[in-house]
Amino acid sequence: MEKKLHIKKGDKVIVISGASKGVIGNVVEVSREEGKVIVEKAHMISKHVKPRKQGESGQIVNVEGAIYADKVMLYCDKCGKGVRVKTVVETVEKDGKTVKNKIRTCAKCGAKL
Ligand SMILES: [Zn+2]
């Protein structure tokens, strides 16, 4: 079942628990099915890469592993820390029509995230 996540690809987040606690990075991948995200430079894991051709040796590379979305919070540059998100509805005039936009803001300082 797909989970609704508060994190989107490209979001700047901070890891709040686990071995990568305190790491700030951009979300590079989101898996709604698993409720997991991949954050730049967080939860680095070693991965064996199998040789593609005969005679080539396998390699071990470090890649970012997926972490549970509950372990990250959106990062607010203004507050300088992980924050809770408040969704506000912004009403804008567009081509003579009133359009409602949902925007995410920092629950503390109100900055758009
Ligand atoms: Zn803030």
Task: Write out the residues surrounding ion ligand 1, Cβ under 5 A.
Answer: 76, 78-79, 106, 108-109, 111
Confidence category of residue 1, pLDDT binned at 50, 70, 90: low
Q: How far is the CA of 110 from the centre of ligand 1 (A)?
A: 6
User: CA dist 91 to 94, 95, 108, Å?
Assistant: 10, 13, 21
pTM: 0.80
Q: What is the pLDDT of residue 88?
A: 93
Q: How far is the CA of 103 from the centre of ligand 1 (A)?
A: 14
Cβ neighbours of 34 (radius 10 Å): 12
Q: Which fold has domain 12-82?
A: SH3 type barrels. (2.30.30)
pLDDT digits (tens, 9 = 90+) for 23-81: 999 999 999 999 999 999 999 999 998 888 888 888 899 999 999 999 999 999 999 99
Q: How far is the CA of 109 from the centre of ligand 1 (A)?
A: 4
* DSSP conformational letter for 93: E
Domain boundaries, the chain: 12-82
User: Strands across the sheet with 24-31, in order?
Assistant: 66-68, 36-39, 24-31, 12-15, 72-76, 81-83
pLDDT digits (tens, 9 = 90+) for 86-109: 999 999 998 999 999 999 999 999
What does DSSP say about strands 36-39 and 24-31: parallel, antiparallel, or unpaired?
A: antiparallel
